[in-house]
Amino acid sequence: MKKKLSKIKIVHLLHCVGGVEVYVRQITENINPEHIENIIVSQSLINKNKFQNLNKALIKTHTINIKREINPIFDLLAIFKFICIIIKEKPNLIHAHSSKGGAIARISALFFKIKIFYTPHAFSFLSTNSFFKRQFYVFIEKVLKTNNTSVLATSVSEKNQAEHTIGYSPLKVMVLNNATPPFDLSTIKAYPVIHSNYICTVARPSYQKNLEMLLDVFLLITNKQNDIHLFIIGAGEYSPDLNKIKKIMIKNNLESNVTILPWISRTNVLSIIRNSKIYVSTSRYEGMPYAVIESMSLKVPCVLTDVDGNRDLVKDGHNGYIIKNMDVKEMSLKICDLLDNNDKRKQFGENAYEYYLKNHLLSQFVDKLTRNYFKASN
């Protein structure tokens, strides 16, 4: 007879939109609420869209004002408020998401005997090209490397960063690949687009997503295929480079070939990806990108820059292409190669789907995470 699981309480601390929010919603909406009670602590921007559990019931949430950049006053206030939440909720475990969430959670937990799962979703030191800033972020991560913290990495690349750059023991690092459910294609209605021959990306205009490179790549593609279109999805509230991207489009006469869409429903995003010839990412860094996993699950081949997360998903020349050294010309050639070769594009898509089924099914993610939650709480 199986031993009955006692119910545990887990507090999630997060401050990012995009992939981090998707990750947490995958947890709350799919883990059995009879065994695990999830509580959300995040900024008001995220809490606008209420979190639900597996039974569609609303999940308890707390709001903390968390700034993306280091801000001593706001950060101390956030730490104080999170300490108050820990005292009130008395969780068995804290699951901290993103570097900033991880820092606030680990500092707060110094006052308690409580274990922490920390999922960086791409370490902060990857987000800058400044040597001094990078070393400072690495230093902070090393200082906060406490004995009660285990890293729950989203990819093998992130695991390697935790062990080799920060110095975590391999016993303190686990890999749990990001995952999505298989999509029922019959429920994905076509998003109204006037272009049938297009490529796409899901990326907010920011340093991380490196859309200026994508526009340089796309300009070379249009020199060979003038009927091709590019959809950029994700110009939301945090889009610091939006005006710069629009200026580049005007300068290179790409306005009629590029469409920038705001944050739209997940179903509409999937519709655009599903009918795209190729999914493209020019990111400077990633955790493990959901949009790439979703593309693979929809049999859409991907052409990606060679960064953490991307290189964990695509095997070059098998289920897509990996572009080294941010090579604009090479990326344009690989995209054109797939656009010109229907059979290769279809085969890459099938290979991508097979890889998805083996490594990124949501049911596998939920089972493994549930086991680790209970193991850490005992």
Which residue in 153, 148, 147 sits closest to 123, CA to CA?
Answer: 153
**21 and 14 in contact (C-beta within 8 Å)?**
yes
pLDDT at residue 16 tops 80 = no
* Burial letters 342-360, b for 16+ CB under 10 A, else e: eeebeebbebbbebbeeeb
Confidence class of residue 1 from pLDDT cuts 50, 70 and 90?
very low
**151 and 168 in contact (C-beta within 8 Å)?**
yes
**29 and 52 in contact (C-beta within 8 Å)?**
yes
pLDDT at residue 341 tops 50 = yes
Kindly report whether the global pTM for this prediction surpasses the value 0.85: yes
Helix (H, G, I), strand (E, B) or coil at 254: coil
Which residue in 28, 78, 74, 79 sits closest to 49, CA to CA?
Answer: 28
Domains in the chain, ordered, with CATH? 8-179+361-377 (3.40.50.2000), 185-359 (3.40.50.2000)
Whole-number mean pLDDT of the chain?
Answer: 93
Confidence class of residue 4 from pLDDT cuts 50, 70 and 90?
low
Q: Give the separation between CA 346 and CA 216, rounded to whole angstroms.
A: 26
How many residues does this entry show for the chain?
378
Highest mean pLDDT, choosing among 187-191, 263-267, 288-292: 288-292
pLDDT of residue 378: 80
Beta strands in 239-335 (DSSP E): 258-261, 279-281, 302-305, 320-323
Which residues does residue 258 pair with via DSSP β-bridges, in sequence order?
Answer: 230
Kindly state the tokens that stand for 253. Answer: 């006469």
Residue range 61-70: average pLDDT? 87
pLDDT of residue 124: 92
**45 and 17 in contact (C-beta within 8 Å)?**
yes
Which residues does residue 39 pair with via DSSP β-bridges, in sequence order?
Answer: 11
Confidence class of residue 71 from pLDDT cuts 50, 70 and 90?
confident
Helix (H, G, I), strand (E, B) or coil at 115: strand
Which residues does residue 94 pair with via DSSP β-bridges, in sequence order?
Answer: 11, 116
pLDDT of residue 139: 96
**285 and 257 in contact (C-beta within 8 Å)?**
no
Q: What are phi and psi of 86, to 5 degrees?
A: -60, -45
Percent of the chain predicted with pLDDT > 90: 83
Higher-pLDDT residue of 111, 211: 211
pLDDT at residue 3 tops 70 = no
Strand order in the sheet with 173-175: 61-63, 36-42, 8-13, 93-97, 115-119, 149-153, 173-175
* pLDDT tens digits for range 217-227: 999 999 999 89
Angle at the Cα of 306 from the Cα atoms of 335 and 161, rounded to 5 degrees: 160
